[in-house]
A and B are shown apart, each in its own frame.
Chain A
Amino acid sequence: MKSMQSSPHSKHEAMAGIPVPHADIRIQLTDQGLVRISYPISLKPWIARLLPNRISLPIRTLELDTMGSFVWQHIDGKTSVLELSEIVTKKYACHPSEAEHSVAAFVRQLGRRGILGLR
């Protein structure tokens, strides 16, 4: 799995990446059908190495909005960022490049929090 910080060579490559949720997150659905993600805070690798294994990291919670929840429900480890943006375009009648930017920004945000990685 590629780190989210390592930048792909082109937009085409970035859009072909497949977002994969990390194993140590927990998903809940709220009463409104929104996705709530509980995830351990991500540390810099050198800090993580210094910590003993038995220490568990603090957990944070993130509640996605309607669009975010919709995109999350389509992240299955097979669908690429480009395919996700096409799904968003169809569902919300967005302009294709607007959907691409939104989905790319969403994946980038979740990647920074250590919720997703790109394959």
Chain B
Amino acid sequence: MMLLWDGLQVEIPKGMEPAALDRGFIRLTGSNMPTVSLRFGSEKCRFDPHRDGRRILRAAGIAQEALRMCDETWTKQIPGDLYRSNRLWVVQFSESRAVLAVLFSAPPPAGMAETILASLAWTPAEAWRRWRCYDITFETPPDYLLKTAVFQPGRFLLKFTNGRSELTFDRLAPANVLLTGMTFMPWCEQNMSRNLGRTIEMHRGSNTEVDMGARPSPLYRLLPWLPGQSPPLQGKARHIPEENKILILAEQGPLLPAEMSSRLHEKYAIIPSFKT
């Protein structure tokens, strides 16, 4: 399965799953397989395999190893230069100016490093980014950076910020347990204000869709930069009965233009392959 996280695209080898997902970091684990840690980000200055490579090896606890250029046939698919030691691979994406370090907890079995490395692709923060993790998929507009990512059984919560604007992607499950006989609108009225931490006005879009909004406080209109205020809020909550999930997407702060906002809502979905 393909994982799209914080600009990085990577194929998860069979039998593995993401154990930790954070800003510029992914850890994949699997039974009887070495743990794979991926650290990545935009290049602040040009990556130098000799100078920066030594630093990365030291940070990985394998200072005795050395990075060498890897130019085997399968590496041709990688959109950049590849350097490797026994357990550490470093990819320098040539066009998008980003660096990725892949560290295996033990020398990887045959094919594992190839599966991971040949699938890599990078999208910079200045472009629309696609995200695909566990059973959710969505897109974030340019310059929105991941602030928090919480994955708990029953609730996935991801927050992104761009200056004073904040995007919140919330996925709740199982919907039939949460709703317990209620229809969606009354459930939203009972829970959304508590979920978002402020009073929300709600309008029924359909039986499974509720539009949310909140006006900014008068003081916010005058002095929006003052902390602790209530900025404008708009969003949508959707009940997806066939997937038994509830998706909530909220924008707070200076709101996005209508076409960007509708793209956000359109792309936020459940990956149907997890349907049983």
Interface residues in A49-97 (C-beta closer than 8 Å to B): 65-67, 89-90, 92-97
Query: A1-38 interface mask toward B, CB cutoff 8 Å, 1 = contact, 0 = none?
Result: 00000000011100000000000000000000000000
The chain B residue with its CB closest to the CB of A103 is B153
Looking at chain A's contact residues, is the secondary structure mostly helix, strand, loop, or mixed?
Answer: helix
Chain B neighbourhood of A99, CB < 8 A: 153
* Other 19 A-B pairs with CB < 8 A, given A94-B244, A98-B134, A105-B153: A10-B31, A11-B31, A65-B177, A66-B180, A89-B276, A92-B176, A92-B177, A93-B243, A93-B244, A93-B245, A93-B274, A94-B174, A95-B134, A95-B274, A96-B274, A97-B134, A98-B154, A99-B153, A102-B154
CB distance from B243 to the nearest CB of A (A): 6
Chain A neighbourhood of B275, CB < 8 A: 93
CB pair A90 B153 closer than 8 Å: no
Binding site for B on A (CB under 8 A): 10-12, 65-67, 89-90, 92-99, 101-102, 105
CB distance from B44 to the nearest CB of A (A): 34
Task: Count how many chain B residues have C-beta atoms less than 8 Å from C-beta atoms of the other chain.
Answer: 18
The chain B residue with its CB closest to the CB of A67 is B177
CB pair B180 A92 closer than 8 Å: no
Is B17 at the interface (CB under 8 A from chain A)? yes
Chain B neighbourhood of A94, CB < 8 A: 153, 173-174, 244
Chain B neighbourhood of A12, CB < 8 A: 31-32
Is B135 at the interface (CB under 8 A from chain A)? yes
Most central of B32, B173, B174, B274 by chain A CB within 10 Å: B174
Chain A neighbourhood of B173, CB < 8 A: 92-95, 98
The chain B residue with its CB closest to the CB of A65 is B177
Interface residues in B68-95 (C-beta closer than 8 Å to A): none
